[in-house]
Structures are given as C-alpha cells and as structure tokens.
Amino acid sequence: MMNQFSSPGQSILNGQKVRFERERGVWAVHVTRHLAHALITFEPGAERSESVRMVLKALADAGIPIFLVKLHRTAVTFALAHHYVQQADEVLKQAGFGVRIRPDLALVVVIATTMREVSGIMVHISDALYHADAQLYETGDSHDSVQCLIDGVHVESALERLCQEFGLEKSVVHERPLPGNREAQA
C-alpha cells in the first residue's frame, strides 16, 4: 500500500494552498441603501401584544415587507424600503397608529462564519461605526451576520472603517437589492 502522505492532495493548486473550509471570522460586507426606520409608540395602557399584532397584520395585509422588527416595552420598530414608507404611513394611520419615520438609512451587514460562537465581533463593529461617525439605529443578527442600520450619508466611511477593522479588501463589499424591490432584482 502507498503512504497516505505521498500525494500533495487536491486542495493544493499550482503550489498554492486554497481554502478548503470557510475560515472563522468576518469575510464579507453587504450594503443595502435607501431604507427607513419606523417607530410606532403605543398609547399608555395599551396591551403590547395586541398592538404589535395589529401593526404587523396591517402591514402584512398591505403587502409591505418589513424586517429588523424589534419589540420594545411601549413601542415596536422595524426597517423597510423607502418606496414603502408612504404606503406604510397611510396603512398604519388607518389602523390607528402614528408612525415616526427616520429616512435615508442604509443597512450594512457584516458576514462572518460561526458568528454566534465567537465573541468580540460586535465591539469591533461598534468601534468602527463610532469612528466613522455613523450612529447605529438598530442591529439584527443571525448565525452568520450582524446587520447595522445607519445613516446613508455615512455608509462610505463606515465601510472603510469596517474593512480596516477586520482587515478586509474592498472587493468583499457587495451592494444588495432593496427588500421587496422586484424590479431591481430582475
């Protein structure tokens, strides 16, 4: 039988090692522009679950995609594409809710492997955004991403700082289409 170490293996190409498994840590940044953040504050004494349910139902019935939905003690917040803002405002007013909109935001998404098993990514992100003067209005996270809603005008400086912080090339920054914007995706 041959020795199992007699072959260089298939992951060595032209004498250079290529990535076999995904490396730990941050490897890409995605950006989605032209977003808004909505804040709906409930009347004092209103039952939160019922109010949240009504808000979410009104938006769903109107076919308005929302994301980064966050529950607060007396409010609910979410993000949406700017082209849905007027419709959302009308729908929610009809349902009896006042809505405050913060326009001209962007979602910067930091993509990493095994995000929830490593500590410290959030401090790097918040440091980078702080030094870019980009106020963080909301975050969301999953096993492979941290999503940060920031002012649109600060996107370029935020990207530069994030790339510096995580040692990334600019080539790993990708623009992503707006949620619900089928024309843009087509």
Partner 1 sequence: MKILVQKFGGTSVDRAEHRLLAARKVIQVREAGFSPVVVVSAIGRAGAPYATDTLIKVLRDVDPQVTPSAREMDMMMACGEIISTVVFAQTLNAAGCKAIALSGGQAGIITEDKFGDARILEIRPQYLLSLLEQGYVPVVCGFQGITLPDGEMEHGAITTLGRGGSDTSASALGVALKAEAVEIYTDVDGVKTADPSIVPEARTLPVCTYEEVAEIAHQGARVVHPRAAELAMDHNIPLWVKSTFSDAPGTRIVANDSAEAPGPRLTGITHTGRTVLIRLDMGDTPHKAHIEREVYRMMARAEVPIFFNTFGSRSLSFVVERRIYPIARDLLDGMVIPIPSEPKDQDGKLSTFYIFRYDKGQDLAYSVQRPLLACVEDRIHVVDVPVNAIENCTLVSVVARGHRQESGVVAKMYDALTLAGIPVYQTADSEMSVSCLIPESEVDKAVCLLHKHLFG
> Could you give phi then psi for residue 129, rounded to 5 degrees?
-70, -35
Q: Which of residues 100-119 bind partner 1 (CB under 8 A)?
A: 115-119
Q: How distant, in Å, are the alpha carbons of 13, 72, 158 from that of 86? A: 54, 23, 28
Residue-level length of the chain: 186
Does position 145 interact with partner 1 (CB under 8 A)? The reply is yes
Number of Cβ within a 10 Å radius of residue 155: 20
Which parts of 9-118 are beta strand (E)? 12-13, 16-17, 25-41, 67-71, 75-81, 100-113
Answer for the pair 148, 109: CB distance below 8 angstroms, yes or no.
Answer: yes
Could you tell me which stretch among 151-159, 164-172, 177-185 binds partner 1 (CB under 8 A)? Answer: 177-185
In the block, tokens 């106020």 appear at: 135
Pairwise CA distance, residues 70 & 107, whole Å: 15
Among 17, 93, 98, 153, binds partner 1 (CB under 8 A): 17
Smaller CB separation from partner 1, 72 or 93: 72
Smaller CB separation from partner 1, 14 or 119: 119
Among 35, 40, 68, 92, binds partner 1 (CB under 8 A): 68
Among 28, 34, 46, 62, binds partner 1 (CB under 8 A): 62
Tell me the site size for partner 1, rule CB under 8 A. Answer: 66
Q: How far is the CB of 75 from partner 1 (least distance, A)?
A: 8
* Interface with partner 1 (CB under 8 A): 1-12, 17, 20-24, 49, 52-53, 56-57, 59-60, 62-73, 75, 115-120, 122-123, 126-127, 130, 135-147, 179-180, 182, 185
